[in-house]
Amino acid sequence: MPLPLSAIPASPHENEPANAAKESAETLALLARRRSSKLMQLAEPAPSSKELDALINLAGRVPDHGKLGPWRFVVIEGEARERAGAALEQVIRNDEGVDDARRDFVRNWFKRAPACVMVVSSPRPSPKVPEWEQQLSAGAVCFNLLISAHALGYGGCWLTEWPTFDERARAALGLATEERIAGFVYLGTANMGASERVRADVSSRVSRY
């Protein structure tokens, strides 16, 4: 059962005291054990529209050099999944080698999970903040959204897949030319517990200067 939205405290206003550090055994346990779900493990119900708004609000609380907010969210839920899938299908419809099965698959692209949030990296011109930093902030948004969803009680996964790398698909989904898809964060109710995967050996990737 997801937690009620009342479990999410209001975010502080500017200059209000914030908790820069607050010990939380539950956060540590979540980080130590959390896993993504596979798409096929994401069942109904999706987070409600209100829950999605709350999760997106948490997701946006990322480090962001220059306070540019160089990202935006596109919620693809309910029947919008059909419209977004149809837009993708139009893109590949007449591509060489595309058959009816592929067209159907692509048309149902966003119905593979109950809900999806497309996180768009939307860099702002800035003499001070390199685009790379702005893109990293968008990546942080994706993971913040995933962790927030897990903490509320929903399963999710962060995928890019071909639409991210297809200029035509990006345009069909409403991106401007300078924008990139940081990720599609698919969300739903995890219908089975995920078992642990192989992890990178972190210790072999640590050195001390």
Rule CB under 6 A: which residues touch ligand FMN? 35-36, 157-161, 183, 197
Closest residue to ligand FMN, based on beta-carbon distance: 36
Distance in Å, CB of 161 to ligand FMN, minimum? 4
Q: What is the distance between the alpha carbons of residues 51 and 5, in angstroms, rounded to a whole number?
A: 7
Nearer to ligand FMN, 197 or 205 (CB): 197
Q: What is the DSSP string of 87-106?
A: HHHHHHTTSTT--HHHHHHH
Distance in Å, CB of 183 to ligand FMN, minimum? 5
Residue with tokens 């692209």: 109
Token reading at 57: 């609000």
Distance in Å, CB of 131 to ligand FMN, minimum? 17
Q: What is the distance between the alpha carbons of residues 6 and 106, in angstroms, rounded to a whole number?
A: 37
- The residues, any chain, with a CB within 8 Å of residue 105's CB and separated by 6 or more, are none
Q: Work out whether the CA dihedral 59, 16, 7, 22 comes out positive or negative.
A: positive
198: Cα within 13 Å, side-chain hemisphere = 1
Q: What is the distance between the alpha carbons of residues 179 and 20, in angstroms, rounded to a whole number?
A: 31
Distance in Å, CB of 66 to ligand FMN, minimum? 23
Nearer to ligand FMN, 5 or 74 (CB): 74
Nearer to ligand FMN, 56 or 138 (CB): 138
Output DSSP code: residue 6: G
Nearer to ligand FMN, 115 or 157 (CB): 157
Distance in Å, CB of 75 to ligand FMN, minimum? 19
Nearer to ligand FMN, 50 or 197 (CB): 197
3-state helix, strand, coil in the chain (%, to 5): 45, 15, 40
Nearer to ligand FMN, 56 or 181 (CB): 181
Distance in Å, CB of 34 to ligand FMN, minimum? 7
